[in-house]
């Protein structure tokens, strides 16, 4: 059986060609003629159907997951549509990577630096999430203007959670994701991490200020600290939110200063408590060249 292909009548179509103009033409014709695509992963040829979510794609028929090969994306309990699969895995089978403004391995650290959130002055007492959010949004505007990026991207940074209107954050994220799907735009979320756990073997990420949204991911590394930020690419399908390529940045609580380790965080907090003016050197680069918060220095300013 041919993995990664569907059959529509006498036509075979690779998963990776579905979004091409020819693939969209074939799916449009099948949808118009009410021809049901068949998955080529198994001899039983499990049936699929054509659906439209900003563009045409194919989805698994309800109750047919067990009919697909274990290597087929439609066999995954939490992936019923190739839109979600495309978000989590690229054409080569590797995890999807960020692009455009967030193509580098140190996206959060660079953003923190652009927002000057790595700087602490003795006059500071406390930095709220509302302040952090304003700084990040202003920095993103400056970065887009400076880099002149042509990337088709949108960024969502949630407002502080309000107990009086608990659904407002969920509604705002849903509207953001719907807007991304309508114009085929990459969507990113930047927010503090609330929890990471497994639900029926599926990694789930919950973000602060979005406590009612569960983000399902293909792979999810554990956060480096209890208090940390995350950036990830997101996609919505069938009432669920999927995420990929999560990057973390450990930060101190209240002051939101970036930290490289527990010992480094203690040193940062000691300096802040002593009324020092200082900045933290960014990015944190390990010996292999990867951007992970393993070591840094604290410099006086």
* Residue 251 or 153, more confident: 251
Alpha-carbon distances of 160 from 109, 155, 212, 215, 283, rounded to whole Å:
22, 16, 14, 19, 27
Q: Which of 28-32, 74-78, 296-300 has the lowest average pLDDT?
A: 296-300
Q: What share of the chain is helix, strand, coil (3-state, %, to 5)?
A: 30, 30, 45
Burial class of residue 4 in the structure, from the number of CB atoms within 10 Å of its CB (0-12 exposed, 13-18 middle, 19+ buried): middle
State the Cα–Cα distance between residues 294 and 283, nearest whole angstrom: 10
Q: Which of 180-184, 188-192, 295-299 has the lowest average pLDDT?
A: 295-299
Alpha-carbon distances of 194 from 20, 254, 276, rounded to whole Å:
38, 15, 30
Query: What pLDDT does residue 92 have?
Result: 37
Query: What pLDDT does residue 125 have?
Result: 84
Query: What pLDDT does residue 295 have?
Result: 41
Query: What pLDDT does residue 252 have?
Result: 92
Specify the 3-state DSSP secondary structure of 102.
Answer: helix
Residues near 33 by beta carbon (within 8 Å), at least 6 away in sequence: none
DSSP 122: T
pLDDT for 127 beyond 80? yes
State the Cα–Cα distance between residues 204 and 208, nearest whole angstrom: 13
State the Cα–Cα distance between residues 229 and 192, nearest whole angstrom: 4
Radius of gyration of the chain (CA): 22
- 187-215 pLDDT tens trace: 899 999 999 998 877 889 999 999 999 99
Q: Which of 40-49, 52-61, 115-124 has the lowest average pLDDT?
A: 52-61
The pLDDT > 70 percentage for the chain reads: 77
Assess whether the previous peptide bond of 283 is cis (omega < 30° from 0): yes
* Residue 27 or 94, more confident: 27
State the Cα–Cα distance between residues 227 and 233, nearest whole angstrom: 20
Backbone angles phi, psi at 156, to 5 degrees: -115, 120
Q: Are 247 and 183 in contact (CB under 8 A)?
A: no
Query: What pLDDT does residue 285 have?
Result: 62
Q: Are 118 and 108 in contact (CB under 8 A)?
A: no
Structure-block tokens of residue 252: 């101190």
State the Cα–Cα distance between residues 301 and 157, nearest whole angstrom: 30
Query: What pLDDT does residue 143 have?
Result: 67
State the Cα–Cα distance between residues 201 and 217, nearest whole angstrom: 11
């Amino acid at each position: 059986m041919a993995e990664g292909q569907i059959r529509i009548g006498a036509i075979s179509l690779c998963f990776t060609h579905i979004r091409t103009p020819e693939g969209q033409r074939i799916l449009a014709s099948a949808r118009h003629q009410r021809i049901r695509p068949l998955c080529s992963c198994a001899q039983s040829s499990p049936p699929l159907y054509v659906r439209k979510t900003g563009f045409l794609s194919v989805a698994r028929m309800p109750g047919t997951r067990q009919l697909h090969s274990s290597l087929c994306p439609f066999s995954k309990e939490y992936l019923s549509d190739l839109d979600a699969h495309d978000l989590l895995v690229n054409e080569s089978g590797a995890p999807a990577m960020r692009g455009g403004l967030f193509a580098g391995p140190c996206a959060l650290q660079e953003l923190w630096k652009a927002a000057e959130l790595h700087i602490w002055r003795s006059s500071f007492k406390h930095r709220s999430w509302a302040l952090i959010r304003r700084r990040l949004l202003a920095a993103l505007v400056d970065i887009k203007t400076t880099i002149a990026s042509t990337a088709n991207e949108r960024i969502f940074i949630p407002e502080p959670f309000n107990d009086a209107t608990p659904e407002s954050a969920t509604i705002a994220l849903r509207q953001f994701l719907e807007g991304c799907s309508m114009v085929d735009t990459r969507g990113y979320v930047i927010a503090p991490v609330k929890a990471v756990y497994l639900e029926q073997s599926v990694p789930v990420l919950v973000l602060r200020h979005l406590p009612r949204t569960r983000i399902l991911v293909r792979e999810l590394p554990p956060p480096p600290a209890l208090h940390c930020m995350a950036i990830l690419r997101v996609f919505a399908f069938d009432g669920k939110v999927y995420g990929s390529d999560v990057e973390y940045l450990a930060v101190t609580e209240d002051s939101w200063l970036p930290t490289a380790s527990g010992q480094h965080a203690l040193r940062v907090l000691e300096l802040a408590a002593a009324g020092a003016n200082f900045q933290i050197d960014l990015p944190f680069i390990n010996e292999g060249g990867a951007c992970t918060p393993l070591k840094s220095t604290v410099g006086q300013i």
